[in-house]
Amino acid sequence: MPCFICTTCGTQHAESDQPPHRCATCDDERQYVGLGGQQWTTIEALAETHEIAFGEEEAGLLSVELRPAFGITQRALLVLHPEGNVLWDCVSLVDEGALDVIGELGGISAIAISHPHFYTSFVEWSVAFGGAPVYLHQADAAHVRRPDPCVTYWAGDTYSIADGLTLVRTGGHFEGSALLHWAAGAGGKGVLLASDTLKVGLDRQSVSVMRSYPNAIPVGPTAIRRVEEQLAPLAYDRIYAAWPGHHIAQDAPVVVRKSLKRYLTQIAEVT
């Protein structure tokens, strides 16, 4: 039986002979059902109209994009690591071209995903790379639409995938929302792969945290202060977010501090 994929959020659901009536991911207040109503596709149909494209963000870091854009339009990021390459976040399609390119780079040893909006077709990616483990925070387990033994749920605030690759739970967007700290990135100064756990602004000089970005639902001061606390011990100079071109190239801690301070000031003025 097929595993249907929601065309609005790109989430693949468990096997069924008919599409689900609704996408529970899109029914959540953080997401939405498209203006055209609930629509579905399959990975086979998607492969006929889309493909995976790669780009180099910096030495040891590749972007993995679905073209043309699909779903929430995010990219994944591939960290090349001596202990095994790690795919950060996920897209809805894995195709033969992607298998060839990543295979030549040594394959994928692990997959880690920031939050449920980017779970997409993680089972397909795991299968394609020999059952690579998929790391999801257990606080978001209820949002998994296609359960599979490949999933490893982690708990607490940090989890080491490999030397210098650490998952950090900040919460905010989702209870289990996380980012990946890559210590060797930016020439050893450190990189945050922040997805939209910490969303880079279109000005590329600011960041923000929200419960819902499309529906403009803010988080409160407690959530912002938790993000600050979780980021404080980390050494980093650069941030890559979930969309191409959305990055803070240098001095990222300064940007984060100023942005979150501004956020707290605006909340205080409103309340």
- 145, 25 Cβ separation under 8 angstroms: yes
**256, 153, 12, 124 alpha-carbon torsion, rounded to 10°:** 100
Task: For the domain covering 5-270, report its CATH number.
Answer: 3.60.15.10
Of 106, 118, 145, 134, which is closest to residue 22 (Cα–Cα)? 145
Domain residue spans of the chain: 5-270
Of 119, 124, 48, 129, which is closest to residue 88 (Cα–Cα)? 119
Burial annotation 125-151 (CB, 10 A radius, 16+ → b, else e): bbebbeebebbbbebbeebbbbeeebb
Of 203, 255, 201, which is closest to residue 228 (Cα–Cα)? 255
pLDDT tens-place values along the chain, 271 residues long: 899 999 999 999 999 999 999 999 999 999 999 999 999 999 999 999 999 999 999 999 999 999 999 999 999 999 999 999 999 999 999 999 999 999 999 999 999 999 999 999 999 999 999 999 999 999 999 999 999 999 999 999 999 999 999 999 999 999 999 999 999 999 999 999 999 999 999 999 999 999 999 999 999 999 999 999 999 999 999 999 999 999 999 999 999 999 999 999 998 876 5
Beta bridge partners of 169: 178
